[in-house]
Amino acid sequence: MKLLSLTIENFRCYKEKFKVEFNDFTTLIAKNDSGKSAILDAMNVFFNDTSLDPGDISVGSSTDEITISCEFTDVPQKLIIDAAYEVDLKNEYLLNSNNNLEIIKVYAGGKPKPKEIFLKAHHPSATNASDLYQLTIDKLKKRAKDLGVSLDDVNQTIKAEIRNKIWSSFMNLHLLEQRIQLKDKDEDQKRMWEKIKAEMPLFALFKSDRASTDQDDEAQDPMRVAIKEALEAQRPELERIINYVKEEVEKVSKATVNKLKEMDPSLASELNPKVLDSAWDKIFKVSLTDETQVPINKRGSGVRRLILVNFFRAKAEQAAIERKSPGIIYAIEEPETSQHPTNQVMLLEALLELADINNCQVIVSTHTPTLVRLIPSTSIRYIEKSADGKRVLHKDDDATLKRIIKDLGILPDHDVKLFLGVEGSNDINFLKELSKILSQKEPDIPNLELLDNLGEILFVPLGGSNLALWTDRLKGFNRPEIHIFDRDTEPPKEPKYKKIADAINSKENSEAFILSKLEIENYLHPTAIQSARPEVDITFGDYDDVPSMAAQKVHEKSGSPKQWKILDDETKKKKESASKKWLNAMAVKYMTPELLTIQDPQDNMRNILRRINECVQNPMIINTQKAEIGSEK
């Protein structure tokens, strides 16, 4: 399951109901003390049952009840409760009106404790049909009898079958969205809740104010998540061990009780052997040292937090192989803490890579311009504190971006000589790596990675949907701009962003280039691609969809029983996104000047890089001369 939204009420600064929606990658942006941490802490309470204290109740509230609810998509069609009982959440009317699973937890008391759990469901409201979920099996049978519903063809020991038989007898169930309480005393509901919890994603929260020693949560939490995942993968085997232990212990316990009966029958009658389960993950403890056996807690705070970088990079590689364990949500509070700007970017890139993997979601909170300018605009959730103390949530529209620019100063104005606008982070990887390779032999080609590290150029990943907005935003920074767009269409069709490119070229101090091929991946030579992934032996033209072709080839060679053509669009999109990642990060490393000449005989890519070099060397050149380099302008 994937988290779709969180709603909190009467929790800290969120006195009134407040809802946040989530993508695979979501960024909470706000000034200090605006409520970013409260959202992540509320999620930690919901997923990990962390304790609440009196200070978590909103100031001035008339009630001590805190409500935290989460809505999930990608819900399992059926939950197997035991060998003879499975629950179809949709047929049981336990999903909301969007066919998502919405769980509501209520906490109450001076020091709030868990009070009730509800499912917000699109549920029958008709008389004699609305309360079936709360009835015992005997009362369900009586209800069926009163309504004249025959139960001859259903298993009368399973409440779900009786409920469905009764509901099917109604002409109109009058479905309405309402709360369905899960009662602890109902064994069926208790078992179902345990199965729902097992399907929920794991939640790992990394806070900005942790001490980061090798035994503190900062270092331990990633390892604990790894331990939990490993244990989850062995769940059937662990359950077999637990059942074996229970059986053996119960044998001894019963034998002990029988012997006790011989001595004191009255005492023995009061004893019932019960084996309590322990948390498997508590057995393991991890200590981290470097190659010289120096404990991590003796290193600097920045180094300690960089444990996260390596953890997430390792997780990205490991999770690239499909696994059956539940999804994971990684929540990182202010990942920039204690980090050099270069490491901030490196950490963000690792997190973005992680979010592209199936069953993974990443949530970060920040107020640092360095990170904000690099994140996908669709991930932005901007929280603003109004004059009356209420929190207002803004999404990724024009007005929101204006607020962020005003409040955070997204694009720093210092030694930057050129803004380089591209469509996304994959383009940045491609241009940096290719320019580094070419610059070693061709002095008129700049090393963009070096210029970026020196702060002389600033990559701005604009994203297709926000190109017009961001190109307008850049004009106030008094720096030259070069923008590079994919063609995205095959001639004779007009390039997708031609109108935006024309508008940029009509302005002073700015220049736009449209690639002569479909996308930037079309400049890769097939030899370089196959060197990176030997199984991807493809040939392609200027207007073929290279990421899609590569993704299909990887899928076919993976041994999957499903043919590419029957995969759903979302799965294909994920695989194509993964291909774009490795094509622009790995395959480009195998390019050579000779391979580029073969693939790009018109020197389209070289001329763009040369133009960038000219603008860095002489920032006023755009005002005086527009280059004609063979690309569509």
- Domain layout of the chain by residue ranges: 2-203, 207-228+295-408, 418-624
Q: Count Cα neighbours of 298 within 13 Å in the Cβ-side half-sphere.
A: 8
Q: Count Cα neighbours of 321 within 13 Å in the Cβ-side half-sphere.
A: 5
> In this structure, which amino acid lies at residue 405?
I
For position 317, what pLDDT does the model report?
46
Q: What is the DSSP letter of 276?
A: P
Average pLDDT over residues 480-500: 92
Two tokens, residue 331: 């929540």
> In this structure, which amino acid lies at residue 191?
R
For position 211, what pLDDT does the model report?
46
Separation CA 358–CA 105 (nearest Å): 27
pLDDT digits (tens, 9 = 90+) for 362-405: 999 887 666 666 677 788 898 988 888 889 998 766 677 667 76
| Partners of 203 in beta bridges | 329
Give 357's contacts (C-beta < 8 A, 6+ positions apart): 316, 319, 320, 578
Q: Is the dihedral of CA 410, 414, 420, 425 positive or negative?
A: negative
Distances (CA, A) of 258 to 120, 205, 270: 49, 49, 12
Mean pLDDT of the chain: 82
pLDDT at 453 over 60: yes
Alpha-carbon torsion, ordered 571, 573, 578, 583, to 10 deg = 140
Distances (CA, A) of 487 to 523, 565, 604: 12, 26, 13
Q: SS in 3 state form for 453-490?
A: HHCCEEEEECCHHHHHHHHHHHHHHCCCEEEEECCCCC
DSSP H/E element including 501 = helix 498-505
C-alpha angle with apex 469: 468 to 474, nearest 5 degrees?
100
For position 213, what pLDDT does the model report?
46
Of the candidates 73, 69, 94, 77, the residue with the CA atom closest to the CA atom of residue 6:
69
Q: Are 358 and 321 in contact (CB under 8 A)?
A: no
For position 492, what pLDDT does the model report?
93
Average pLDDT over residues 558-571: 89
Q: Is the dihedral of CA 620, 623, 624, 630 positive or negative?
A: positive
- Report the 10 Å Cβ neighbour count for 414: 6
pLDDT digits (tens, 9 = 90+) for 327-356: 788 888 887 665 666 667 767 777 777 787
Separation CA 480–CA 458 (nearest Å): 11
Pick the CATH number of 207-228+295-408 from 1.10.150, 2.60.40, 1.10.3470, 3.40.50: 3.40.50
pLDDT digits (tens, 9 = 90+) for 159-207: 889 999 999 999 999 999 999 998 877 787 888 888 888 888 888 787 7
DSSP helix/strand/coil, 81: strand
Backbone angles phi, psi at 534, to 5 degrees: -55, -30
pLDDT digits (tens, 9 = 90+) for 570-606: 889 889 999 999 999 999 999 999 999 999 999 999 9
